[in-house]
Structure 1
Amino acid sequence: MLPWAGRVRHGRFDFRGRHCELPVDLGAHAIHGVGLALPWQVEEHTPTRAVLALRLPGDARWPFGGSARQCIEAGERHLRLTLTLSAGEQAMPATLGWHPWFPKPDALDFRPERYYPRDAEGIAQWPLRDPPPGPWDDCFVNREPVLLRRGGQCLRLSSDCDHWVVYDEPAHATCVEPQSGPPDAGEEAERGHRWITYAHGLTAATGSAMNGKPLAARVQVIAHRGASAQLPEHTLAAYARAIADGADFIEPDLVMTRDGVLLSRHENEISGTTDVAAHPEFAARRTVKRIDGVAVEGWFAEDFTLAELKTLRARERLPELRGTAHDGLYPLATFAEIVALAAACGRRVGIIPEIKHGTYFRGIGLPLEDALLDALAAHAYTRAAPVEIQSFEVGNLQYLDRERRRRGMTNLRLLQLLGEPHEQPYDLAAAGGTLDYAAMMMSRGLREIASYADAIGPSSRALLPLTPDGRLGAATTLSRDAHAAGLEVHAYTFRPENAFLPPALRAGDDAQRNEAGSLAEIRAGIAAGMDAFFTDDPAIGRRAVDGT
């Protein structure tokens, strides 16, 4: 539908002092533009892609001229449509969109925010209202994907348009129509919903193909647990290597010792990354605890003092891939020691600590949030350097947002980590809530996150899913949607071994380092719009960003 979508009342509108009358073709109204009735020229045609072009008339059908292009791209599991409209020798108003018909679905999952009520002539009107129950032949404000379910299959429709017309009154079919503005947008102009005005030579596009550039001025390399592909994670040696390899940020996960010291470990159960099992003096401390609703057996940081933990040595978490040559060489590191290392490195390195199991530690009387804020305030370096606190939980980030404002911590940012779509933030699950990460990754959920955080941390697969044959698929709309909400996207985790790469990028056995494959994957993520990324090998990450 172009250069207008939906009905124009009686075919009449005014634009910059010029009165225009279009031919009516639906009773008393003009409908859906001229693009549907004119022949398009084929510019490109392959088995998976077609590009069509149209020169708009400059006569009574549309007195402004201009041109349009549409690109149709077919993938293994998707169809992507991009519609582009350009003004000609004179400025013009326009809306554009699509009008697809679908066989009647068994279920339509459509949750719009507001809708335009229709008047006696069937024209959308202000003011907007809460959506009524269907069936519909109405225009809605909607920023979420629409799902059509039929015969055990699900079709997901997404668009960068925020107006959707849904027509589901027929018994045999349903129309779901994303468009760039409401019907009769010329009449709505005085109310603030006007046609887009295209100046001479100006082009704009709409579709599902655009994820946008990163919000960040420069994509940031985050050393995930230090240079953990090279040295045991969370050790000072791993962090020093990460800094030397060019990381912009270093990431310590944080748990708490029995005597209230912030310790850098990915889990509070420490047998997987230390030699605690080889210490007979600690054998009796092996136990079973329930952590975030899951029974876990082993030795736990909160059952040891810092002095006791300092007698342990780090071990490689992934010995089958990364070997054991460095086992037993490095002591465990505290958060204070990591801050001191960054402060002494000779350049400004950001710190991005993750609060692990916040609800659990709060429940045993060892809350991490205020301890971390106090530690940041205590060191001159972290009062000025870039700091970003991350968590998979929600309540603690909301608390930290209030506290950073109250304390005037202007260098502190917050990152909402996002798990698998079916999973829930544990603090919400423990409180009986129903919000899951899938909902948080929708436009409405992202806007809520933006009320307390500065960035989201999705998995790389939430940005770049794999095709059935193991290739990187088309980018999802998550980056674009997050950026529209004002959130940066900090994706996790890029690792250099074949075992972690998309099958199509692998070369050699699982344990083999594959720098070329890792570079390709990271650069695809940057192209998909990520503003920062976590990597076990920051040297490769630096090359991916710098183009070397």
Structure 2
Amino acid sequence: MRASAKMAALAGLCTLMACAASAGERGADGKNHGRARDAVQLGPRPFYLVQDMDEGELKDALEQCTSGPFYKSDFSISHRGAPLQFPEHTREGYEAAARMGAGILECDVSFTADRELVCRHSQCDLHTTTDILAKPELAAKCSEPFSPAEFDPISGERIKTASAQCCTSDITLQEFRTLRGKMEASNPDASTVAQYLDGTPDWRTDLYSGSGTLMTHAESIALFKQLGVKMTPELKAPSVAMPYQGDYTQQAYAQQMIDEYKAAGVGPREVFPQSFNLDDVLFWQQADPLYGRQAVYLDGRVDDPAFEPSLEDFQNLAAQGVRIVAPPIFALVRLDESGRIAPSDYAIYARLAGLDIIAWSFERAGPIENLVEEGRQYYYQSVSEAMNKDGDMYEVLDVLGRDIGVLGVFSDWPASVSYYANCMKL
């Protein structure tokens, strides 16, 4: 066991939610079958990751599971659908995530000019995630129109990046429905709209970008019910001043999101509302205690170099009613004295304070080789020195899953986490 001595104190820790979920998902044979009875389809990637691992006990254990069967698991949380290969927050991406065993699917929630809720990672990302710039009548409504890159005529050096900004609040719901999703990307060297929209990294694909069906928040709820999964909506920070249009307050926005679950008949145990804004989490707990009980505080404080986790800090969060914290992966792991991946102080103190943890986001960084050199090390920045190939991601996941005991892990390709969760019976 790689856990530190302090982690040993956590051996008996099992929160009410985690224990109930574990008990409720085990079948008569004692195995974790999730909540779905039909085996899921993982595809080749998890098996590639296992084969790519260093020889050792973890690889041996994961190799024992190659024949399956595999089932849906709440430990496997879909991050924006399946955006490693599908346009994010689209019907096609959500359906792919469910087929890959994700037991919980995410809709990031933003609002349109007529204050309707839609699934977008950011209120102002339409220029990089949809074809809005290719529709002149809608592109004209963007907050900032497309501006081409500029280059020094002598050196050829780029002196101005191509840019645009198109927000959900720039258009109505009816106009939003005419858009198609594309892979999140833009070309900073573009001189035309077509070039700007054609910026997908070579480790992703545009193979499934031709039919990215955008969704409203209510439509995502209906789809998730049909797919038999739980739901984790993230209330996105508005890019416009609030109150919006005079009377649309932050609390009205937060309540509107919860009300759409009530209207659809989705019970509070099926919903994990998320926000980077602690006030949103506290509001849900006060205004709708049943739905607020599973509210997730997305902890962006870890991006501040001055932030130092402490037991007192997490105890204060718990005292305010926070039950689940969700930081990026790098905040939960570190390299120990021998250079091996181990739980971080953040993970240790959060668990000692009785908090549950969700981590994000697996399969978001792209190929691990040359991670640091290419500047993609964000999610693994605390342990990137110990990682040099894709299979090393399972070493990190194992620390999250077994040493720390996180509730679940967001992933851009849920099959990879679903494989691990089934194999380790999490």
TM-score range, shorter chain: 0.5 to 0.7
Match of 1:460 in 2: 329
Equivalent residues of 1:523, 1:545 under 8 A apart? no
Query: SS of the residue aligned with 1:286?
Result: coil
CA separation of 1:329 and 1:81: change in aligned 2, threshold 3 A: closer
Deviations 1:329-382 (A, max 9, x none): 12211111111111112x3x11011111158563324442011121111011x2
1:327 maps onto 2:209 in alignment = yes
Query: How many angstroms does 1:260 deviate by?
Result: 1.5
CA separation of 1:480 and 1:503: change in aligned 2, threshold 3 A: closer
CA separation of 1:361 and 1:352: change in aligned 2, threshold 3 A: farther
Match of 2:218 in 1: 336
Which of 360, 383, 402 aligns to 2:267? It is: 383
Equivalent residues of 1:494, 1:536 under 8 A apart? yes
1:414 maps onto 2:414 in alignment = no
- Cα distance in 2 for partners of 1:384, 1:287 equals 36
Equivalent residues of 1:419, 1:437 under 8 A apart? no
Which of 219, 229, 235 aligns to 1:355? It is: 235
Equivalent residues of 1:386, 1:412 under 8 A apart? no
Deviations 1:427-455 (A, max 9, x none): xxxxxxxxx9936x422221222223220
Query: How many angstroms does 1:504 deviate by?
Result: 4.1
Match of 1:305 in 2: 172
Query: SS of the residue aligned with 1:285?
Result: coil
- Cα distance in 2 for partners of 1:393, 1:308 equals 29
Match of 2:362 in 1: 494
Query: How many angstroms does 1:484 deviate by?
Result: 2.5
Equivalent residues of 1:479, 1:528 under 8 A apart? no
Equivalent residues of 1:228, 1:238 under 8 A apart? yes
CA separation of 1:300 and 1:322: change in aligned 2, threshold 3 A: same
- Cα distance in 1 for partners of 2:166, 2:221 equals 26
- Cα distance in 1 for partners of 2:351, 2:363 equals 25
Which of 270, 274, 279 aligns to 2:135? It is: 279
Q: 2:90 is aligned with what amino acid?
A: T
- TM-score, with normalisation over the residues of structure 1? 0.52
Query: SS of the residue aligned with 1:225?
Result: coil
Equivalent residues of 1:223, 1:536 under 8 A apart? yes
Match of 1:21 in 2: none
Q: How many residues align?
A: 314
- Cα distance in 1 for partners of 2:243, 2:178 equals 27
Q: Which structure has more helix as a fraction of its residues? A: 2
CA separation of 1:384 and 1:393: change in aligned 2, threshold 3 A: closer
Q: 1:268 is aligned with what amino acid?
A: Q
1:236 maps onto 2:103 in alignment = no
Query: SS of the residue aligned with 1:222?
Result: strand
Deviations 1:449-487 (A, max 9, x none): 222322000111111135899x65331132332223221
Query: How many angstroms does 1:532 deviate by?
Result: 1.4
Equivalent residues of 1:464, 1:472 under 8 A apart? no
CA separation of 1:498 and 1:472: change in aligned 2, threshold 3 A: farther
CA separation of 1:286 and 1:417: change in aligned 2, threshold 3 A: same
Match of 2:155 in 1: none
Structure 2 residue runs of 5 or longer lacking an equivalent are 23-73, 146-162, 186-199, 369-375
Identity level (%): 24
Q: How does 1:20-59 map to 2 (within 5 A)?
A: none
1:483 maps onto 2:367 in alignment = no
- TM-score, with normalisation over the residues of structure 2? 0.66
Q: 2:255 is aligned with what amino acid?
A: D
Q: How does 1:132-281 map to 2 (within 5 A)?
A: 207=6, 212=11, 215=15, 216-217=18-19, 218=22, 220-269=75-124, 270-281=126-137
Match of 1:445 in 2: 313
- Cα distance in 2 for partners of 1:285, 1:360 equals 15
1:524 maps onto 2:408 in alignment = no
Query: How many angstroms does 1:517 deviate by?
Result: 3.4
Which of 317, 320, 334 aligns to 2:184? It is: 317
CA RMSD of aligned residues (A): 3.1
Match of 2:423 in 1: 547
Equivalent residues of 1:210, 1:480 under 8 A apart? no
Query: How many angstroms does 1:519 deviate by?
Result: 2.7
Equivalent residues of 1:211, 1:528 under 8 A apart? no
Q: Which structure has more strand as a fraction of its residues? A: 1
Query: How many angstroms does 1:308 deviate by?
Result: 0.5
Query: How many angstroms does 1:503 deviate by?
Result: 5.7
